[in-house]
Amino acid sequence: MTVRNSRREFLAGATAAAAATSMAAGRGPILAYAGTYSAPVGAEGAPGRGKGIYLLEMNPITGVLVERALFPNAENPSCLALNASGTRLYSANETSTYGGANSGSVSAYEIERPGGRLKLMNTVASEGAGPCHLSLHQSGKWLFVANYHGGTSAVIPIGANGELGAASDVKHHDGVLGPRRATSAPPGSFAWSGHDRTHSHMIQPDPSGRFVLAADLGLDRILVWKFDAAGGKLMPNDPPSVAVAPGDGPRHFAFHPNGRLLYSLQEEGSTLVTFDYDGATGRLRARQTISSLPPGFAGTNYTSEVAISPDARFVYAANRLHDTIAWFSIAGDGTLRFAGEEPTRGNYPRFFTFDPSGRFVYCCNQRADAIVSFRVNRKTGALTHTGQYTPVGTPSFLAFLVERGSGRS
């Protein structure tokens, strides 16, 4: 039995390697841009040890990341977004000092091809302090920014050449703040990070681009707007938001590829909520709440990132302080079941993502100053550490770009 299993594992590995080699043939290298904290502001009490945006190259067979270039940015380029054609990169610069105002900024970069080097195009105000998340509209004409410390969400126009304009709309979040104690927190938890005021933590259009959603941690709500794609305006939906459990603090969310489900991750409550999503009305209805932590856990934890596997069979969630990535199987009705967890091999995992093939997961361990890679078992969802660490100071984000082929045989 052992021999047969070993042979089966060898053949599976060889097949996967051959597939990766075939996939890489006829195209250029796989590049990745790492965002970092490069200043104390926004780095959660720790000094920023990053130097800006790092350009890395990935080996598609081994998963190894190698640094190719560094593009200095001293303003905490903590979140990045690539346009659909891979010609522009946008960074949310998580500070509160842009232009002498209480605002952060957003920068646009041209991506030089081949090679992936960045050329700064321009920088504009994010219209709120501490921009921590940004995303692109499907049209490529609008950029959405969540300003955490400012409690605002902004729409930034993108010109035909990729440069950014002044905000076309800014929404100041308003409402009743949630309690300091999270309803769903584990026993003994002292998790508290943002119920002192409104905190816009994530903003993203729905799969159709007709609605825009924003998670406000302080309000314990996911806000929903109708989006005017002609004028770049956010208009309140009916209803204008949906609540999570008081004090739980929604942080990030992920849409299922079917467009009918949304999974919301709560930072202080350490929960995942499964929502039914109506793409015609923009309405959300909670159906299930499950802990992001293993049964029996007690103490303080802060969640960070949530993602769905490329084959839509598993949901993954990162836990900070517990320092794990947990995975959950998705049932036929969209509900979740805890399936396992893997240590992140470094503390405070702020972000993780899949590589373009879906064979690897890369985790940005903010306080450990390294990006760590894991192989993905597509059958079980399990992650296995590759033994590889890529040194990057206070990493916070990773965005992959597949270069176009060189035309050589």
The whole-angstrom separation of Cα 267 and Cα 239 is: 24
pLDDT at 27: 65
3-class DSSP string for 265-318 = EECCCCEEEEEEEECCCCEEEEEEEEECCCCCCCCCCEEEEEEECCCCCEEEEE
Query: Phi and psi dihedrals of 379, rounded to 5?
Result: -75, -45
pLDDT at 3: 34
The CA-based angle 250-257-200, given to 5 degrees, is 25
The whole-angstrom separation of Cα 158 and Cα 142 is: 5
pLDDT at 37: 96
Over the stretch 329-352, which tens digit does the pLDDT of each residue have? 999 999 999 999 999 999 999 999
Inter-residue contact 246 to 179 (CB < 8 Å) = yes
Inter-residue contact 108 to 122 (CB < 8 Å) = yes
pLDDT at 202: 98
Residue at token pair 């190894």: 64
Positions of the chain with pLDDT under 50: 1-26, 42-43, 406-409
The whole-angstrom separation of Cα 323 and Cα 345 is: 8
Over the stretch 90-125, which tens digit does the pLDDT of each residue have? 999 999 999 888 999 999 999 999 999 999 999 999
Query: Phi and psi dihedrals of 107, rounded to 5?
Result: -115, 145
Residue 257: helix, strand or coil by DSSP?
coil
Q: Spell out the residues 6+ positions from residue 9 whose beta carbon is closer than 8 angstroms to its own.
A: none
Specify the DSSP element, H or E, that contains 18: helix 2-24
Q: Spell out the residues 6+ positions from residue 11 whose beta carbon is closer than 8 angstroms to its own.
A: none
The whole-angstrom separation of Cα 122 and Cα 30 is: 26
Alpha carbons within 13 angstroms on the beta-carbon side of residue 4 total 1
